[in-house]
Amino acid sequence: MATVKAQPIRPAKMERIILLCVLSTCLSAVHTQNFLFSSKRGPIGYKDRDEQRDGTVMDEIIKTNEFQAARMLDGTTSLREGDIAVTSGRRSKACFARSCLWSKSVDGHVYIAYQFSPEYSEMETSLIKKGMENIEKGTCVRFVPWTHQQDYIDIQPKSGCWSYLGSRGGRQTLSLQNPDCLQVGVIAHEFMHALGFVHEQSRFDRDNYITIMWPNIWRDRLRNFEKFRTDSLGLPYDYSSIMHFGMYAYSQDGEPTIIPKSTKAIKLGQTSTLSHIDRMKINRLYNCGEDDDY
């Protein structure tokens, strides 16, 4: 029977081993330094890999808000569900009781006044307008430049892509960081929050339609997957809503965090436009009828 005898390590071999050890220590130190001093901010353990994102609007928002934006917007305001601004101490209005809606004009339209930060270039403002037009198409919402209105949206290139939920009364900021948030779909998504909508997978009945893969979610972001007492406005669960998280949202290991229960092949979320049901949602929330003639 053949046996392998343990060979004593010769001095030359030993030197090579020591050299290899030193090299690998140096390499890991360089890696650690890159990680610690990286200009990107991001969760430890969260893998920022291209292949784990499937290109939804929410993936773009997560990429910007988690890796580049500040954690706290100011001393009292933080982000819920990744991109909804919440001010501590201020009771957030119950949007689904229709108490945070923008007011409706007698002509049947919902006019929402907006103002651009002077920091945006002309090209950037025309891109933001495209996002707003995406909301207007097929809905009763119309965005109008601010003149004197008491309630209006102040669009600012602050840190990250975010909005408050619904109308807060008075001036309210909606942040579209430049250039990361200046994509039609991302802009439309943030305006949907300003109209009063939370994310689609936060619906109270979502567990009938999707499975949340809790073990795959980055620990510090579990709260982004909470359910809320929402009013579904009599509309079906919308896998392709612009407000739906992608399948890999907040994945810590590249594995899916949301799996549709449907047997059909379904893609979650949207890349650049409201779904048909998103438009119906707006018209129902604002009691506008469902004509496509708007």
Annotated binding-site residue numbers: 189, 193, 199
User: Which parts of 76-135 interact with Zn ion (CB under 5 A)?
Assistant: 83
- Strand (E) or helix (H) holding 127: helix 122-136
Phi, psi torsion values for 233, nearest 5 degrees: 55, 25
Q: Which of 60, 124, 136, 190 is catalytic?
A: 190
Q: State which residue, 83 or 278, has the beta carbon closest to Zn ion.
A: 83
Contact by Cβ (8 Å): 225, 212: yes
Indicate the helix (H) or strand (E) that contains 189: helix 184-195
Plot region of 186 (φ>0 → left; ψ -120 to 50 → alpha; else → beta): alpha
16, containing H or E segment: helix 11-36
Picking from 160, 194, 153, 155, the residue whose alpha carbon sits closest to that of residue 177 is 160
Specify the residue, 83 or 180, whose C-beta has the smaller distance to Zn ion: 83
CB of 257 to Zn ion, least distance (A): 15
Task: Report in angstroms how near the CB of residue 34 gets to Zn ion at its nearest.
Answer: 31
The annotation places the binding site for Zn(2+) at: 189, 193, 199
Q: Which is nearer to Zn ion, 110 or 243 (CB)?
A: 243
By CB under 5 A, residue 60 contacts Zn ion: no
**CA terminus-to-terminus distance, the chain:** 88
Q: Known catalytic residue: 190?
A: yes
Q: Which is nearer to Zn ion, 66 or 83 (CB)?
A: 83
Other residues' Cβ atoms within 10 Å of the Cβ of residue 86: 16
Draw the binding track, 67-86, toward Zn ion (x: CB under 5 A; -: no contact).
Answer: ----------------x---
Q: Cβ of residue 190: shortest distance to Zn ion, in angstroms?
A: 7
Nearer to Zn ion among residue 110 and residue 194 (C-beta)? 194
Burial zone of 230 (CB within 10 Å; 0-12 exposed, 13-18 middle, 19+ buried): middle
Q: Counting every residue, how long is the chain?
A: 294
For residues 59 and 69, what is the distance between their CA atoms, to the nearest angstrom? 14
Q: Smallest distance, Å, CB 57 to Zn ion?
A: 8
175 vs 172: CA distance, rounded Å: 10
* 109-to-189, 213, 221 alpha-carbon distances in Å: 20, 41, 38
Least Cβ distance, residue 163 to Zn ion (angstroms): 8
Size of the site for Zn ion (CB under 5 A): 1
Q: Which residues are catalytic?
A: 190
**Contacts to Zn ion by CB under 5 A:** 83
